[in-house]
Structure 1
Amino acid sequence: MLSLSYLFDIAVYLIFAYNKGVFQKIYRGKVILIEKLFNLEKHGTNVKTEILAGVTTFLAMAYILAVNPSILGQAGMPKEGVFLATAIASGLTSILMGVLANYPVALSAGMGVNALFTYTIVGQMHLSYQGALACVFVSGLIFILITVTNVRKAIINAIPQQLKLAIGAGIGFFVAFVGLKNAGIVVANQATFVGLGNFTKPEVLLALFGIVVTLIFWGKNVPAGVFWGLVVTAIVGMVFGGITGAKALPQLPRGVVSIEFDTSLFGAFASGFSELFSHPNCWLAIFSLLFVDFFDTAGTLVAVAGKTDIMDKETGELRDVEKALLADSIGTVFGSMVGTSTVTSFVESASGVGVGGRTGLTAVTTGVLFLLAAFFSPLLTAVTSAVTAPALVVVGIMMAQQLEGLEWNNIVFASSAFVTIIFMILGYSISNGLALGFITYAITAVATGKSKEVSPIVWCLVVLFIIYFVVLPK
């Protein structure tokens, strides 16, 4: 197990990483222990690379600390309380993932599922936010049950290898689209649904600048090019933000430490249990949470694993996936207890993998930073959507390269891959794109006389997907 002293070492290294002299000598012994704990040499990495990857993942995910309170605040939850819950849940569950599964995957309150929480469960089903948190808690317990019985592992490993490649690439396109949307490069358009944004806006120009810089770093094989693209973009944004006074650009922090905490959401889920037995829509809410989180997590783990040695290249199975799924399930339960919507594996973890993260030390580093963020929230003003957009776009390109292994001359795989990718983007949902891809896979397999190649688990999933689309509130 990872002791507190190791966490302290990692936190110190984030500040004094590889300084020369006495400091390095003092900590060298414990760094060696950290290397052994995470099997860094076996995975072809080192402490410095892993910490850099963890920092990159954190910067790519940091937006959730602002976005989640904004979304859940519309459900009547205090934003300050959601911020604290998000930071604590993200920090501790990411550390758990790193220690338990040794995966370079960080966790936080999932995008999409937080919208489901606010706009569907609270807004349309009319549960209180306490009742919705209770539903999240129950869904997490169910996840733990199906994880320890290996049901979840069996389902993930039953996904055909070709579909896993499509899922990984599709999430790459989705991540890039999210980055472009958040930065204002792609916007809504009444005539064409989507269109290009206003390229004269300072935040759009900054994001475009960051994409160019990051692509140059990547093209020149600069070590940790994605991370340095983030740093350069943030610095340039702060400089020009100071010069022009543009509020949309990153601002120089006005403070460093904030110790005002709102703990009102801690344990709030308990008062919502009464609705589980009295509200007619509570079980539909739990099913919806289960569905979205299950396949968002599956898609994320498959996508991130595809860029590491976590996935067996021949069988397509993930090593120790049951441990990763257990950490994810525990995260959901814990998140509901401190006051946030479903905690899930974040696809932005691919940004850390993109700079060399290969082990749980990456996730632990990200977790430590989330915990520190609870105290240093003013510093996050420099991390805007325009700053993270370049990393998301370039990581999307990296992930899309998995399409190279797809059998495009096979109509079953080509059609299901296309549907998976296009609906992840246009439907703005990883889980919905995955579901429609599975349905397409089954239909084309039957049409081409290959129905026997479809496993019983996949057939069961197809039926569940169809039921999901029929019963999910619109």
Structure 2
Amino acid sequence: MTDLHSPADTGTATARTAQPSSLLERLFKLSERETNVRREVIAGVTTFLTMAYIIFVNPNVLAAAGMDKGAVFTATCLAAAVGCLIMGLYANYPFALAPGMGLSAFFSYVVVGEMGYSWQVALGAVFISGMVFLCLTVFKIREWIIDSIPLSLRQALAAGVGLFLAIIALKSSGIVVASQATLVTLGDLTQSTALLTAVSFFLIAALAHRRTPGAVMIGILIVTGIALTTGQVSYSGIFSAPPSLVPTFLQLDIAGAFNVGMVSIIFAFLFVDLFDTAGTLLSAADRAKLLDKEHKLPGMGKALMADSSASVAGALLGSSTTTTFVESTAGIAAGGRTGLTAVTCAALFLLAMFFSPLAHMIPTSATSGALLYVAVLMTSGLSSIDWDDITEAAPAVVAAVMMPLSFSIANGIALGFIAYAVIKTLSGRSRDVSISVYLLAALFTAKFIFF
């Protein structure tokens, strides 16, 4: 082992001597990961800026389900803070968490809007899925599930959620409207909502290309400024005490979520969170050089425990599924290597609760542009599918395309599994299909036939 004070390890020695507190060193093992307090705090601020848009977007999305916008704003900030604290203090990783956009949209527009369940029942489903995720992690079943699901379906799942977000953004902005002749058609692009949505999307994409920190939040705020100057929204201030959490706190209906028809919904919440979290954790950890020689994340169980615990806490507070954000890579690129980065994010989310008037001024057009941008990021997984193997590509396309076209993440997942099992079997490649995939395909088929 190299001597800590030898010239070959000067960087590590510098990192050690730079620590102002032995408590932080013991908690986060800063010198072991060759970092220091200043670098971790800067990384935390960077991550927060790239994902702070969630505190503006999530209340708008969940308000469509009839939830109190102010309470959802507070719940979003608290759920994110709780998730980041658990990830930082328990798992000691620089990954930040917050309510996920895809599942928030699914929660509001499908479970509540299309299927007619109350938002209280939908919160109950989020709670149950979080508890199942927690049990899978505790009993170490998660690896078996992740390994047994085909990679192409996992990639298609993320892409499908992205396409689902895109159709919601285009619909809510009026860019795409209903048509009796063609189901959907182009809306009136001269309307202010459509125009501002386009401006929001173009700005965010351009700023992201220029690697501007907080590109999404900046785009949202610029469009909000335009809406203010043109009289489309009214100024209501910037700072205030956090809105009351009472309208959503502990309002979940767990008993109602045990309805047979909710099984596929719980599956959808669970699967999207499970695979999205696992993929995000591994890609972010690889960027931070935290993976071992077998390309596994040491302490992956703790990171997944943090994610599942945050989902449970979020449902109790009054928010949709909390998940690990891919924007964590921004803080990692800035040098974040320990849980202190996540703890810094948590502190900033708590501070953000005092900016609720600003959140109330954000117009739908600004958040629709942000949703469309997130959709672009999520569909990138399609590029990794083996398009030369039709038995892999066809089920993936079925899963991804059916999410927006059936307006349901759950239906997309179900049809993807069924297509994978059937196509592989008819192609004489049944050995490629795991028992778990056959079992899920059978359950989903029964669901479509009998429920």
TM-score tier, shorter chain, comes to: 0.7 to 0.9
| Cα distance in structure 2, aligned partners of 1:417 and 1:184 | 29
Q: Output the amino acid matched with 1:107.
A: A
Alignment deviations for residues 224-267 of structure 1 (CA, whole Å, 9 cap, x no partner): 36x335414522541x33432123xxx54424113552536544
Q: Distance in 1 between matches of 2:328 and 2:316?
A: 28
**Distance (whole Å) between structure 1 residues aligned to residue 349 and residue 450 of structure 2:** 37
Superposed counterparts of 1:344-359, under 5 Å: 344-345=322-323, 349-350=325-326, 353=329
Task: Tell me the alpha carbon deviations over residues 411-449 of structure 1, each in whole angstroms, 9 at most, x when there is no partner.
Answer: 111101111210122223334322221211111111111
* Cα contact 2:268–2:410 (8 A) shared by 1: yes
Q: Is the 8 Å Cα contact of residues 136 and 332 (structure 1) preserved in structure 2?
A: yes
Change (3 A) 1:252 1:319: farther
Residue 191 of structure 1 pairs with residue 181 of structure 2? yes
After TM superposition, the score normalised by the length of structure 1 is 0.72
1:165 touches 1:403 (CA, 8 Å); kept in 2?
Answer: yes
> Do the aligned partners of residues 72 and 344 (structure 1) sit closer, same or farther apart at CA in structure 2, a change above 3 Å counting?
farther
Distance 1:371 1:452 in 2: 50
What is the distance in 1 between the residues matched to 2:164 and 2:34?
30
SS at match of 1:89: helix
- Tell whether 2:227 aligns with 1:241: yes
More moved, 33-42 vs 426-435: 33-42
What code does the residue aligned with 2:50 have?
T
Name the CA distance, whole Å, in 2 between partners of 1:213 and 1:55: 16
- CA 1:49 to 1:469, structure 2 compared with 1: closer, same or farther past 3 Å? farther
Judge conservation of contact 1:71–1:114 (CA < 8 Å) in 2.
yes
- In structure 1, give the amino acid aligned to 2:419: T
Tell me the residue number matched to 2:423.
Answer: 444
1:350 offset after TM fit, Å? 3.7
Q: 1:177 to 1:294 in 2, by over 3 A?
A: same
Letter in 2 for 1:63: V
Q: Is residue 274 of structure 2 the alignment partner of residue 295 of structure 1? A: no
Partner Cα distance (1:187, 1:294) in 2 = 31
In the comparison of the two structures, how many residue pairs are matched? Answer: 419
**Equivalent position amino acid for 1:36 in 2:** L
In structure 1, the residue corresponding to 2:65 is in which secondary structure?
A: helix
Compared with structure 1, are the counterparts of its residues 405 and 337 closer, same or farther at alpha carbon in structure 2 (3 Å cutoff)?
Answer: closer
CA contact (8 A) 2:76 2:98 kept: no
- 2:14 aligned partner: none
Q: How does 1:453-464 map to 2 (within 5 A)?
A: 453-464=432-443
Aligned to 1:56, which of 50, 57, 68? 50
Query: In 2 relative to 1, CA 50–428 (structure 1 residues): closer, same or farther, beyond 3 Å?
Result: farther
In structure 2, the partner of 1:261 is 244
Q: Is 2:95 the counterpart of 1:108?
A: no
State the distance in 1 between where 2:407 and 2:204 align.
Answer: 25
- 2:403–2:410 contact (8 Å) kept in structure 1: yes
Aligned residue number for residue 215 of structure 2: 228
Question: Given that residues 51 and 361 in structure 1 are in contact (C-alpha distance below 8 angstroms), is that contact kept between their aligned partners in structure 2?
Answer: no
Contact 2:158/2:378 (CA < 8 Å) preserved in 1?
Answer: yes
Taking the aligned partners of 2:47 and 2:138, their CA distance within structure 1 comes to 30
Equivalent-residue separation in structure 2 for 1:462 and 1:37 (angstroms): 49
Residue correspondence of structure 1 range 124-163 to structure 2 within 5 A = 129=120, 137-163=127-153
| Counterpart Cα distance in 2 of 1:93 and 1:180 | 30
> For residues 354 and 470 of structure 1, what CA distance do their matches in structure 2 show?
45
The equivalences for 1:266-345 within 5 A come to 266-268=249-251, 276=255, 282-284=258-260, 287-301=263-277, 304-305=280-281, 308-309=284-285, 320-338=299-317, 340=318, 342-345=320-323
Distance in 2, matches of 1:381 and 1:425, equals 28
Query: Judging changes above 3 Å, is the alpha-carbon distance between structure 1 residues 182 and 460 closer, same or farther for their aligned structure 2 residues?
Result: same
Instruction: Note closer, same or farther for the CA distance 1:435–1:198 as it changes in structure 2 (3 Å cut).
Output: same
- Given that 2:60 and 2:69 are in contact with CA atoms closer than 8 Å, whether structure 1 keeps it comes out as no
Q: Give 1:321 deviation, angstroms.
A: 4.6
TM-score computed with the length of structure 2 as normaliser:
0.75
For 1:234, the aligned partner's letter is: L
SS in 1 for 2:354: coil
Within 5 Å, give how 1:391-402 maps onto structure 2.
391-402=370-381
Residue 190 of structure 2: which of 190, 195, 200 is its match?
200
> Per-residue deviation at 1:216?
3.2
Instruction: Indicate the SS of the match to 1:375.
Output: helix
Distance in 2, matches of 1:353 and 1:184, equals 33
> Is the 8 Å Cα contact of residues 77 and 352 (structure 2) preserved in structure 1?
yes
Match among 392, 398, 403 for residue 382 of structure 2: 403
Give the match's secondary structure for 1:194. Answer: strand
- Could you tell me whether the CA contact under 8 Å between 2:40 and 2:341 is conserved in 1? no
- The question of whether the paired residues in 1 share the 8 Å contact of 2:75 and 2:319 is answered with no
Query: Partner of 2:438: helix, strand, or coil?
Result: helix
Q: Check whether the contact 1:60–1:388 (CA below 8 A) recurs between aligned residues.
A: no
| Pair 228,405 (structure 1): closer, same or farther in 2 beyond 3 Å | closer
Q: 1:179 to 1:329 in 2, by over 3 A?
A: same
**Within 2, Cα distance between the matches of 1:315 and 1:159?**
20
Per-residue deviation at 1:385? 3.6
Q: Give, as a single letter, the amino acid of the residue that structure 1 aligns with 2:99.
A: S
Q: Deviations over 1:362-407 (max 9, x none)?
A: 7555544443343321121354443344444344334433333321
Work out the CA distance in 1 between the residues paired with 2:148 and 2:292: 15
- Relative to structure 1, the CA distance from residue 308 to residue 432 in structure 2 (aligned partners, 3 Å threshold; closer, same or farther) is farther
Identity of aligned residues (%): 28
Question: Counterpart of 1:15?
Answer: none
